[in-house]
C-alpha cells in the first residue's frame, strides 16, 4: 500500500526529533566529561547511540514504504546544565515531549488508516514507557545522594556499566 504524503511528512519530522535527541544526549555526555563523572558521560553517549538507532528505524521505514526521506535541520543543543540533576530533569522533560509526539503519530496513523505505520509505532510507544521509567529512577537516586561524593561515585559506577546499544535496541527491523 502506497504511503500517504502526510505520513511521510510526520515520519520525517520524527526522524529529525530522534536525531535531535541524539544531539542533546551527546551534548550532555560532553558536559559530564568535564565534571569527572565518566560513568554519567558513558550513559549519555550510549543514550545518544540508541537515539541514532531509533532514527535509523524511521529512515528504514520511510524507505521501505517507498517514501522520500527528507532531513530537516537539527537545532544546536545547550552546552551545560545547572547541575547533574538538572541535566536528567531536562532529559525526562525531553522524553515526555517525545512520548507525546509518538502518541500523536499513532493517532495520525489510525486516522489515515495506515496499519503498517501504527504497528511500527507500537515498539516506540513501549520504548517511551521504559525511557521515562529509567530516567525517573536516575532522578530519584540523584535526589537521594544530593551532593554526597560517595553517593555520586557509586551512581557513576552504576551508570558506567550501561551496555552499548545494539541494533536490537533501536527497534524492530
Ligand atoms: Mg528515541
For residue 41, the domain's CATH number is 1.20.1260.10
Q: For residue 74, report the distance from its CA to the centre of ligand 1, in Å.
A: 15
Q: Does residue 165 fall inside a structural domain?
A: no
Q: For residue 12, report the distance from its CA to the centre of ligand 1, in Å.
A: 14
Q: Does residue 20 fall inside a structural domain?
A: yes
Q: Does residue 172 fall inside a structural domain?
A: no
pLDDT at 166: 81
**Full residue range of the structural domain in which residue 33 is found:** 5-160
Q: How many domains, the chain?
A: 1
Q: For residue 120, report the distance from its CA to the centre of ligand 1, in Å.
A: 14
Q: Does residue 79 fall inside a structural domain?
A: yes
Contact 128, 102 (CB under 8 A): yes
Q: Does residue 145 fall inside a structural domain?
A: yes
Please choose, from the candidates 19, 41, 42, 20, the residue with its C-alpha nearest in 3D space to the C-alpha of residue 32. 41
Cell readout for 49 is: 547511540
Give the orientation angle of helix 115-145 with respect to helix 149-159, to 10 degrees. Answer: 150
Q: For residue 57, report the distance from its CA to the centre of ligand 1, in Å.
A: 10
Q: Does residue 107 fall inside a structural domain?
A: yes
Q: Per-residue pLDDT tens for 6-64?
A: 999 999 999 999 999 999 999 999 999 999 999 999 999 999 999 999 999 999 999 99
Q: Does residue 26 fall inside a structural domain?
A: yes
Amino acid at each position: 500500500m502506497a504511503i500517504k504524503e502526510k505520513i511521510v511528512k510526520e515520519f520525517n519530522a520524527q526522524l529529525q526529533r530522534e536525531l535531535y535527541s541524539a544531539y542533546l544526549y551527546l551534548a550532555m555526555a560532553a558536559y559530564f566529561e568535564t565534571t569527572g563523572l565518566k560513568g554519567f558521560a558513558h550513559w549519555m553517549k550510549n543514550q545518544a547511540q540508541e537515539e541514532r538507532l531509533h532514527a535509523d528505524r524511521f529512515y528504514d521505514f520511510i524507505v521501505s514504504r517507498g517514501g522520500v526521506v527528507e532531513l530537516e535541520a537539527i537545532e544546536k543543543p545547550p552546552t551545560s546544565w545547572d547541575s547533574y540533576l538538572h541535566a536528567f530533569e531536562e532529559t525526562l522533560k525531553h522524553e515526555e515531549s517525545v512520548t507525546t509526539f509518538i502518541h500523536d503519530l499513532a493517532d495520525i496513523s489510525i486516522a489515515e488508516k495506515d496499519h503498517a505505520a501504527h504497528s511500527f509505532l507500537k515498539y516506540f510507544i513501549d520504548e517511551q514507557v521504559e525511557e521515562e521509567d529509567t530516567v525517573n529512577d536516575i532522578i530519584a537516586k540523584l535526589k537521594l545522594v544530593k551532593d554526597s561524593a560517595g553517593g555520586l561515585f557509586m551512581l557513576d559506577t552504576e551508570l558506567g556499566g550501561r551496555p552499548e546499544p545494539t541494533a536490537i535496541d533501536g527497534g524492530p527491523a
